[in-house]
């Protein structure tokens, strides 16, 4: 449930409401906007029976939240959130670009890519040190060695760095080297991993599962935020349908739907959605036009030699062309890159 305070409610009135909630063993979640203050309550609402909170000073009305996700719900937090990672703000007003190889293959490959994506205008270097692959015989990543290369690339370029984690052990290692953790599509409903990511306190990029509904995706985010970590960015990366022309089907409609349902930023990964580099640029532009807060693009110095996802990776030159073409689209949407 949410308790909506009157526009002129005093700080003392808000504090009185939060004290009533706490006295019943529940946790209040305060959201202060320009016009209105909202106090969210998560837990057994029956504990508030008899408290007469609805007639407390400064209370306008009480609204029940029917969705199972609460803290990521826009009803709890009407204003869009901005997630700060290093010097980068992910959210309204910006189009944040994360770029780099699907898998970290060597120090040289990563450092070369970091310099190229930085030059083109990206603010994040992405790279996989832990690779959950369909086949157990495929390249699985360099693990902590790759994380060390990520840290070195950050120090050399000033880029924020993000890496996928696949286990509690991987989180324990990654937090020493990276600025943001990524939960991949295959682990979207790995609830124990989500809890550990929440406990880490490190910003998290949560990708949508291959066959997940939007409500399932938001409930996965709820696992992270319920552990005390509100620094979550959602990533639409395509869902599995009957269509075989592309690797997955990019759900562009997920962007406005998420913006209506949640206050969390949402970015789009057209590389994994399509699996075809020729489709990355038009879908990146479509994502920005739909209101996405950012993009995740796969870039590799030699895609034909890549150990993972070469067919969808852009060359340095293609990525620079993409970035130049995206800036006018961002400007039309009132956003900067």
Confidence of residue 202 (pLDDT cuts 50, 70, 90): very high
> Residue 102: pLDDT above 80?
yes
Range scoring the smallest mean pLDDT among 106-110, 128-132, 183-187, 268-272: 128-132
Q: How far is Cα 177 from Cα 163, in angstroms, rounded to an integer?
A: 9
Annotate 47-83 with DSSP letters as a single string: GGTTS-GGGSTTEEEEE---SS--TTBTTT--SPP-E
Q: What is the pLDDT of residue 179?
A: 98
What dihedral angle (degrees, nearest 10) is formed by the CA atoms of 275, 280, 283, 289?
140
Going 60 to 64 to 70 to 73, the CA torsion angle's sign is negative
When pLDDT is cut at 50, 70 and 90, the band that residue 21 belongs to is very high
Q: Are 3 and 38 in contact (CB under 8 A)?
A: yes
DSSP 27: E
CATH architecture designation of domain 2-63: 2-Layer Sandwich (3.30)
Q: What is the pLDDT of residues 44-87, one digit of tens each?
A: 888 888 888 988 999 999 998 889 999 999 999 999 999 999 98
CA dist 130 and 75 (Å) reads: 36
DSSP element (H, E) containing 23: helix 11-23
Of 21, 27, 38, 24, the C-alpha closest to 75 is 38
For residues 258 and 251, give the distance between their C-alpha atoms in angstroms, rounded to a whole number: 11
Contact 112, 137 (CB under 8 A): no
pLDDT band at 139; cut points 50, 70, 90: low
Nearest to 302 by CA among 292, 312, 310, 294: 310
Give the angle subtended at the CA of 266 by the CAs of 65 and 326, to the nearest 5°: 150
Q: Residue 180 belongs to what H/E stretch?
A: strand 180-183
Q: Are 129 and 163 in contact (CB under 8 A)?
A: yes
CA distances from 131 to 14, 139, 143, 330 (A): 47, 7, 9, 32
**89 with 82: CB under 8 angstroms?**
yes
pLDDT in tens, 25-46: 998 989 887 778 999 998 888 8
How many angstroms separate the CA atoms of 188 and 172, rounded?
18
DSSP 175: T
* Per-residue tokens: 245: 């022309």
Longest dimension (CA), the chain: 68
Model confidence at 241: pLDDT above 70: yes
Query: What is the per-residue burial (b if ≥16 Cβ within 10 Å, else e) of 290-329?
Result: bbbbbbbbbbbbebeebbbbbebbbbbebbbebbeebeeb
- In tens, the pLDDT along 270-325 reads 999 999 999 999 999 999 999 999 999 999 999 999 998 999 999 999 999 999 99
Domain residue extents for the chain = 2-63, 83-332
User: Which CATH code for domain 83-332?
Assistant: 3.20.20.70
**Strand ranges in 187-332 using DSSP code E only, listed in sequence order:** 204-207, 232-236, 266-268, 294-298
Fold match between domain 2-63 and domain 83-332: no
Confidence of residue 2 (pLDDT cuts 50, 70, 90): very high
pLDDT at residue 137 greater than cutoff 70: no
Predicted confidence at residue 8, as pLDDT, reads: 87
Q: What is the DSSP letter of 201?
A: -
């Amino acid at each position: 449930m949410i308790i909506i305070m009157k526009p002129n409610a005093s700080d003392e009135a808000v504090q009185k409401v939060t004290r009533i909630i706490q006295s019943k063993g529940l946790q209040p979640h305060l959201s202060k906007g320009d016009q209105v203050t909202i106090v969210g309550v998560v837990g057994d609402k029956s504990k508030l029976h008899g408290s007469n909170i609805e007639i407390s000073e400064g209370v306008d009305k009480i609204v029940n939240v029917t969705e199972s996700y609460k803290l990521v719900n826009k009803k709890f937090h009407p204003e869009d959130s901005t997630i700060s990672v290093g010097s980068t703000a992910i959210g309204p007003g910006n189009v944040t670009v994360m770029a780099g190889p699907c898998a970290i293959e060597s120090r040289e490959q990563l450092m070369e890519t970091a310099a190229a994506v930085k030059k083109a205008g990206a603010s994040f270097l992405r790279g996989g040190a832990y690779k959950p692959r369909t086949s157990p015989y495929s390249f699985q990543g360099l693990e902590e060695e790759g994380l060390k290369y990520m840290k070195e690339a950050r120090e050399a370029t000033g880029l924020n760095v993000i890496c996928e984690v696949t286990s509690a052990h991987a989180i324990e290692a990654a937090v020493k080297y990276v600025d943001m953790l990524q939960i991949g599509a295959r682990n979207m409903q790995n609830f124990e991993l989500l809890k550990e990511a929440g406990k880490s306190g490190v910003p998290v990029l949560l990708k949508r599962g291959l066959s997940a509904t939007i409500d399932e995706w938001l409930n996965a985010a709820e696992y992270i935020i319920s552990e005390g970590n509100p620094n979550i960015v959602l990533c639409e990366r395509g869902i599995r349908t009957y269509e075989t022309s592309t690797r997955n089907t990019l759900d562009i409609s997920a962007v406005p739907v998420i913006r209506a349902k949640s206050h969390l930023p949402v970015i789009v990964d057209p590389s994994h959605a399509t699996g075809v580099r020729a489709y990355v640029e038009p879908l990146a532009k479509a994502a920005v036009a739909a209101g996405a807060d950012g993009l995740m693009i796969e870039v590799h110095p030699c895609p034909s030699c890549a150990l993972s996802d070469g067919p969808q990776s852009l060359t340095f030159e293609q990525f620079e062309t993409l970035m130049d073409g995206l800036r006018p689209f961002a400007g039309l949407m009132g956003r900067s890159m």
